[in-house]
Structure 1
């Protein structure tokens, strides 16, 4: 029975699997970045969220499958940081994080405060 099911996988199924992996690769990498036990990661959350927002933005060339995945994932992810207190905390920790010292240009600061 399992063999029959595998034989029925189509090229479209494989294409969707490849699209899914490509979409989720950045989310997986982001998860690894903030899962470190040895370094503080709170200051990385806001910059990562900013990158993920751009990554999950719908594009004209997206297939219906890719669009659906992007909408679902970003729709769930953006709900995690809705509260203003949390957003302010994440922005402040990013500004104080030494890893971003010297990399904070006007554009990045403008992004930080445009989300308030």
Structure 2
């Protein structure tokens, strides 16, 4: 199939139906496209001004099926539940597009899983094209083995109505346990877990930092038992609390 461009014309006046209709009629007559009384067909999108313009012209209107499908599917995607899922996925994709650090981490995990990075970047939706929503969903599913381990931790650590520092120690230990390969894991999943375990193991390892995070967890009623901490670590933390309390009491006594 070969396509030809017969005319390209700037329309400087307002794009009303009347003005567009006049431009269309002039183009058709100028190129002598009306033969034997037969009106040529025209395909446009469903915008109201162009639809009305064609109705006022000498053309036969065949609306673009792709655009029609887009409008139908866009309405379908606004159904309660579906729209919420798409909104959350757009936020995830948008996060990786905005954050160079997150994008680099994703790329590293993709390489570790032998996923071709250039061909498998996360796709952001284009509101005017329904198929971009499909492509976005398809691509996010390809990446689910890379992204899902971070979901729970990210949601918990992104809270704004509760302190999150007390989550870090237990969250790290839980994730390290989760990332230990299981016998039932495929080679790809094992490799993914090993890469994530190795990376996470190097985080928050400073003695002071680790002690601070452990104490924060113990002071949080949700994690006060800190099952992931050793008895030695707990004893050290409780000793630190005792010393700090004695220091506070001593200071108050001296002031009195």
TM norm structure 2: 0.33
TM norm structure 1: 0.67
Select 1:78's aligned residue among 201, 215, 225. Answer: 201
**Comparing both structures, which one devotes a greater share of its residues to helix?**
1
- The Cα of 1:45 is off from its aligned counterpart by 1.0
Secondary structure at the aligned position of 2:184 is classed as: coil
CA distance in 2, matches of 1:50, 1:113: 13
- The Cα of 1:87 is off from its aligned counterpart by 0.7
Q: Does the CA contact (< 8 Å) of 1:23 and 1:70 recur in 2?
A: no
The answer on 1:113 being equivalent to 2:247 is no
Change (3 A) 1:46 1:112: farther
Change (3 A) 1:49 1:111: farther
Of stretches 42-51 and 22-31 in structure 1, the one that deviates more from structure 2 is 22-31
Q: Does the CA contact (< 8 Å) of 2:176 and 2:200 recur in 1?
A: no
- The Cα of 1:37 is off from its aligned counterpart by 1.9
Change (3 A) 1:65 1:29: same
Higher-Rg structure is 2
Alignment gaps of 5+ in structure 1: 6-15
Structure 1 moving runs of 4+ over 3 Å: none
Deviations 1:54-94 (A, max 9, x none): 11001122111111111111211121212111111110000
Greater RCO, 1 or 2 (C-alpha within 8 Å, sep 6+): 1
Select 1:37's aligned residue among 160, 174, 179. Answer: 160
Q: How many aligned residue pairs are there?
A: 96
Select 1:99's aligned residue among 206, 219, 222. Answer: 222
